[in-house]
């Protein structure tokens, strides 16, 4: 693979996507009206089903191998944290841009992965919401109420991700250069587009404040979704139920608590516990975690823990544009997975105690002498030590977390067809511990100990300060959710920095060492959006992060 990306000027259609979010779903000339569709459970269900389907569609805006929906976004966010390194051949690493802070300004197409994907999914939510809203709320039947709740839950999820991705945080590391977050953009997030946004408003739509996005969209959506889904029984975990709504509320209130909003921490803890109770969830066991056939690829096999997920069937996957093709080190159909060898940062690995079963997620340098790793490959012991085309591909610290579907490492149409978790109950346990700890440190420590002891029986939380407690929460999130995207939000919110000096990072351009927030954690809005939306000027965009931090050359 040759790591070349073109600058962008204007892409037909994409620049007008936000305007299209508020166009009429059903033209006036149509013989089918919105209220007629709202009265049809089949039509409404098809609209709702299109939301999770769109989230796993590859090549929505580009043909690059990093464009395969929400799971790809999770991979990009993992690469940005510095907790993942390419242990093998980086030339096949399509996500190297997010490792090395390359081409992440508004000028490059990489921004499409976040901005346009999320807003296209929001459009699907808005279509459902507008259609159901054509019927007065007091007249909604059960199906209409449930479909409205699902769309609202999804929309809150998308906006919660967007506001956390695009809110600019001020880097504090003295080594950061040529990067200034001006007062004019501090506290800003993304733009708000709902089913009520008019074409005139969409034509010049400025970035909303973070507070307005929470107060006008995220929290009201979740409040109504809670009412709509209180009695909803889902048949698949691609759809949010009441436990997911509680989980999203816990995420949102945790963020508001960290921002200093009074009472938000108490609500975060309350909703986290309600999410766990509503679903009757329990943590993944060691056997589930290390299962060579169903480990982190099947919501059915992990249903006690998984609250929400995306899913792909064999007819929806290709050989390259998929999560397993990039994140599995066991697959046998592409160089993007086994040859790149996505691995944990050695510095993070070394911080995991030996009696924590999660340490078995990554191959120790002593390989099978250290632990009898379970693999779907019968040739695992030789496979992970082999040499390939004269280049050393030993897999120290390589991940075994994400298994090919059904344990099939040879057939891409089976191995790539997996479920991917978007919410697990373990996150609720961490949210509860952090939120309670923000109010009473000793109680928070007890909750954290109860969770971590399901992974490391000897664990004791020995921190003495609130700040150290937050860092310990962040550490547990980084280990628990490695590869799932979630640690990005912990690292940005807490300013946990990157520590890749003296590590297993072989790529000079990616070996960053900094404290606080990395500049590239403040995503840039694509230039195509600016060109079509005059309310977002160049000065109102997040700064260009390229060449703002010098890597450590060893």
Residue showing tokens 């191998």: 65
End-to-end CA distance of the chain: 25
Which sign, positive or negative, has the C-alpha torsion 229, 233, 235, 241?
positive
Annotate 360-373 with b (16+ C-beta within 10 A) or e (fewer).
bbbbbeebeeeeeb
* Listed residue (87, 90, 88, 234) closest to 149, CA to CA: 234
* Whole-prediction pTM: 0.94
Report long-range pairs for 49-53 (Cβ below 8 Å, ≥24 apart): 50/124, 51/121, 51/124, 51/125, 51/128, 51/150, 51/151, 51/154, 52/154, 52/238, 52/239, 52/310, 52/311
User: Which residues have a Cβ under 8 Å from the Cβ of 511 and sit 6 or more positions away?
Assistant: 500, 501, 503, 505, 551, 552, 553, 554
Residue showing tokens 């501090």: 186
Residue showing tokens 């309350």: 270
Q: Which residues lie across from 419 on neighbouring strands?
A: 311
* Listed residue (309, 547, 280, 258) closest to 419, CA to CA: 309
| pLDDT one digit per residue (tens) for the chain, 554 residues | 444 455 544 343 333 344 434 333 333 334 445 666 666 778 899 999 999 999 999 888 888 999 999 999 999 999 999 999 999 999 999 999 999 999 999 999 999 999 999 999 999 999 999 999 999 999 999 999 999 999 999 999 999 999 999 999 999 999 999 999 999 999 999 999 999 999 999 999 999 999 999 999 999 999 999 999 999 999 999 999 999 999 999 999 999 999 999 999 999 999 999 999 999 999 999 999 999 999 999 999 999 999 999 999 999 998 999 999 999 999 999 999 999 999 999 999 999 999 999 999 999 999 999 999 999 999 999 899 876 555 566 689 999 999 999 999 999 999 999 999 999 999 999 999 999 999 999 999 999 999 999 999 999 999 999 999 999 999 999 999 999 999 999 999 999 999 999 999 999 999 999 999 999 999 999 999 999 999 999 999 999 999 999 999 88
Q: Quick one: which H or E segment has residue 203? A: helix 199-203
* Cβ-based burial of 125 (10 A; exposed 0-12, middle 13-18, buried ≥19): buried
Which sign, positive or negative, has the C-alpha torsion 279, 245, 71, 125?
positive
């Amino acid at each position: 693979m040759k790591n070349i990306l073109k600058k962008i000027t204007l892409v037909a259609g994409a620049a007008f996507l936000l305007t299209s979010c508020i166009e009429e779903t059903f033209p006036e000339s149509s013989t089918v009206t919105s209220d007629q569709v709202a009265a049809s459970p089949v039509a409404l269900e098809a609209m709702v089903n299109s939301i999770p389907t769109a989230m796993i569609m590859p090549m929505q805006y580009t043909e690059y191998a990093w464009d395969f929906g929400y799971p790809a976004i999770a991979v990009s966010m993992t690469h940005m944290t510095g907790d993942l390194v390419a242990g093998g051949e980086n030339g096949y690493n399509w996500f190297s841009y997010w490792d090395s802070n390359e081409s992440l300004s508004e000028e490059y197409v990489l921004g499409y992965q976040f901005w346009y994907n999320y807003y296209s999914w929001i459009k699907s939510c808005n279509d459902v919401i507008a259609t159901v809203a054509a019927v007065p709320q007091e007249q909604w039947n059960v199906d209409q109420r449930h479909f409205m709740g699902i769309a609202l839950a999804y929309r809150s999820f998308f906006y919660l991700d967007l506001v956390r991705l695009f809110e600019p945080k001020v880097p504090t590391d003295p080594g950061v250069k040529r990067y200034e977050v001006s007062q004019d953009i501090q506290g800003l997030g993304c733009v708000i587009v709902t089913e009520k946004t008019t074409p005139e408003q969409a034509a010049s739509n400025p970035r909303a404040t973070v507070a307005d996005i929470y107060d006008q969209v995220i929290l009201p959506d979740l409040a109504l979704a809670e009412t709509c889904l209180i009695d909803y029984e889902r048949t698949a975990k691609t759809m949010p139920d009441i436990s997911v709504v509680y989980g999203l509320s816990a995420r949102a209130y945790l963020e508001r608590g960290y921002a200093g909003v009074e009472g938000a921490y108490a609500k975060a803890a309350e909703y986290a516990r309600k999410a766990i109770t509503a679903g009757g969830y329990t943590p993944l066991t060691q056997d589930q975690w290390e299962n060579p056939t169903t480990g982190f690829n099947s919501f059915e096999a992990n249903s006690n823990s998984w609250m929400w997920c995306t899913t792909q069937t064999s007819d929806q996957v290709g050989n390259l544009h998929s999560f397993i093709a990039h994140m599995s080190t066991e697959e046998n159909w592409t160089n993007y997975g086994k040859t790149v060898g996505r691995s944990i940062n050695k510095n993070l690995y070394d911080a995991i105690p030996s009696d924590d079963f999660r340490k078995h997620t990554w191959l120790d340098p002593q390989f099978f002498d250290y632990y009898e790793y379970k693999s779907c490959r019968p040739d695992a012991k030789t496979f992970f030590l082999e040499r390939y085309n004269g280049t050393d591909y030993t897999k120290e610290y390589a991940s075994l977390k994400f298994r090919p579907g059904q344990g099939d490492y040879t057939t891409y149409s089976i191995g790539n067809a997996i479920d991917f978790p978007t919410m697990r109950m373990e996150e609720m346990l961490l949210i509860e511990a952090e939120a309670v700890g923000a109010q009473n440190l000793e109680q928070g420590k007890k909750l954290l100990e109860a969770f971590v002891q399901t992974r490391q029986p000897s664990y004791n939380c020995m921190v003495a300060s609130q700040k150290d407690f937050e860092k310990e929460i962040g550490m547990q999130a980084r280990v628990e959710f490695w590869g799932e995207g979630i640690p990005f939000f912990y690292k940005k919110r807490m300013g946990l920095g990157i520590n890749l000096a003296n590590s297993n990072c072989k790529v000079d351009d990616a070996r960053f060492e900094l404290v606080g927030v990395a500049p590239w954690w403040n995503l840039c809005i694509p230039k195509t959006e600016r060109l079509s939306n005059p309310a977002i000027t160049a000065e109102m965009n997040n700064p260009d992060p390229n060449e703002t931090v010098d890597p450590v050359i060893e």
